Amino acid sequence: MLVFTLKRLLASIPTLFAVLTVIFVLVRIVPGDPALAVLGDSASEEVIQEFRKSIGIDKPLWEQYLVFMGDVLQGNLGLSMATGKTVVEEVSNVLPYTLELTVASIIIGVVFGIPLGIFSAIYRNHFFDYLARMVSLLGLSFPAFYISILFMIYLSVEWDWFPVFSEYIPWSDPLTRLYHLALPALSLGVIMIGYVARTSRSSMLEVLGEDYIRTAKSKGLPRNMVVFKHGFRNALIPILTLTGLYLGLLMGNSVLTEIVFNRPGLGGLIVGSLESRDYTMLQGLIVTYAFFIVLANLITDISYGLVDPRVKNND
């Protein structure tokens, strides 16, 4: 297992490199001079040169690239143009909030979505199946900001069940923090349930159609054993992959939910950096997102090995 994990870890390095290169190119082909964007049109030539020097964009491109790569590998994402603090500091301040939101919504999605999908597959074309399919399709049709607004208007404002706006709350007060996390997580969780339930249903259906399920049935094994031991375990592999893929979707959606609930997080940071044209912050945030997506893919890959021994042995 260790060898397998290490192999996967090594394999994700070139991807990360490629992603960083793309980010480097992307940020540089943007029309407009960041110096002008920050200093304004009226800045004198000297000030502009000084600024370009200070953020290192006066050097030739290849040198900028090497510096960028070196910095990123050392965990240095530069200084925020707007606040003057390091990007890493700004990001790590709010990152726990986004991570806990993401993790909580995945948990909600998996806990409710998998059983919903599995039973939907078992009772295919029965009433429960139709109902479950409609519910999950409706769930994933929700724009993230809309479901957040609905929850906020009706659960927080009208019924006063939850706090309207979230704020910084230290983990030393875990109950209050969870209380503030509940509604945002539920908003994203409902969408996740939709995706996870659909994935679970289709992969379970696929597995239930396999020959070995027929064999297991004809051996006279109890129905529950066939469904759960032979069926479910094999269906779990695609469910895991796709849940890993949905992590990206979730990160995008979390931006919207964070805005609606005014929650601290990467979403607020990214919108703030867009408004203040904070290019280093934007670049740093893209790197952060990229890092987490590569990490998510890696975790998904490794969990394959855990669920399906064939994956590990083939490697």
Partner 1 sequence: MINTLALNVKTATVSTYQILKSSKLTWIGTLIFVIVTLMAVFAPYLTPYDPISQDPLAVLQEPSALHWMGTDSYGRDVWTRMLYGARISLFISVVAVVAAMIIGGALGIVAGYYGGRVDMMIMRVMDIMLSFPTLIMGLIVVAMLGASMTNLVIAIALTVIPKFARVARAPTLSVKKREYIEACYALGYSDIRIMVFHILPNVFGEVLVIGSLWIATAIRIEASLSFIGLGIKPPTPTWGGIIREGFNNFLDAPWIATYAGLAVLVVVFSLNLIGDGVRDAVDPKLRGE
**Which residues sit at the interface with partner 1, rule CB under 8 A?**
15, 18-19, 22, 26-27, 30-31, 124-125, 133, 137-138, 140-146, 149-150, 152-153, 157-158, 202, 205-206, 209, 248-253, 255-256, 259-260, 270-271, 274, 282, 286, 289-290, 293-294, 297
- What gap in Å lies between CA 113 and CA 294, rounded to an integer? 24
- What gap in Å lies between CA 259 and CA 25, rounded to an integer? 29
Of 274 and 306, the one with the shorter C-beta distance to partner 1 is 274
Locus of tokens 């609930």: 261
Locus of tokens 């479910």: 232
Q: How far is the CB of 216 from partner 1 (least distance, A)?
A: 18
**Phi, psi (degrees; rounded to nearest 5) at 86:** -70, 150
Q: How far is the CB of 165 from partner 1 (least distance, A)?
A: 12
Q: How far is the CB of 313 from partner 1 (least distance, A)?
A: 25
Residue 185, token pair as written in the block: 């997580």
Hey, what amino acid is at 164? V
Q: How far is the CB of 142 from partner 1 (least distance, A)?
A: 6
Of 78 and 139, the one with the shorter C-beta distance to partner 1 is 139
Q: How far is the CB of 32 from partner 1 (least distance, A)?
A: 9
Q: How far is the CB of 125 from partner 1 (least distance, A)?
A: 5
Of 45 and 158, the one with the shorter C-beta distance to partner 1 is 158
Of 180 and 198, the one with the shorter C-beta distance to partner 1 is 198
- CB-CB contact of 255 with 270 (8 Å): yes
- What gap in Å lies between CA 242 and CA 250, rounded to an integer? 12
Residue 92, token pair as written in the block: 């790590």
Locus of tokens 């959606």: 253
Of 1 and 18, the one with the shorter C-beta distance to partner 1 is 18
Of 148 and 177, the one with the shorter C-beta distance to partner 1 is 148
Q: How far is the CB of 174 from partner 1 (least distance, A)?
A: 29
- What gap in Å lies between CA 135 and CA 288, rounded to an integer? 34
Half-sphere exposure of 30 (CA within 13 A, CB side): 16
Of 178 and 205, the one with the shorter C-beta distance to partner 1 is 205
Q: How far is the CB of 7 from partner 1 (least distance, A)?
A: 19
Query: Which own/partner pairs from 292-300 qualify as long-range (CB within 8 Å, at least 24 positions apart)?
Result: 292/247, 292/251, 293/247, 293/248, 293/251, 294/12, 294/15, 294/16, 294/19, 296/244, 296/247, 296/248, 297/12, 297/15, 297/244, 298/8, 298/9, 298/12, 299/244, 300/240, 300/241, 300/243, 300/244, 300/245
Q: How far is the CB of 225 from partner 1 (least distance, A)?
A: 22
- CB-based contacts of 301: which residues, under 8 Å, 6+ apart? 8, 12
Of 1 and 138, the one with the shorter C-beta distance to partner 1 is 138
Of 236 and 286, the one with the shorter C-beta distance to partner 1 is 286
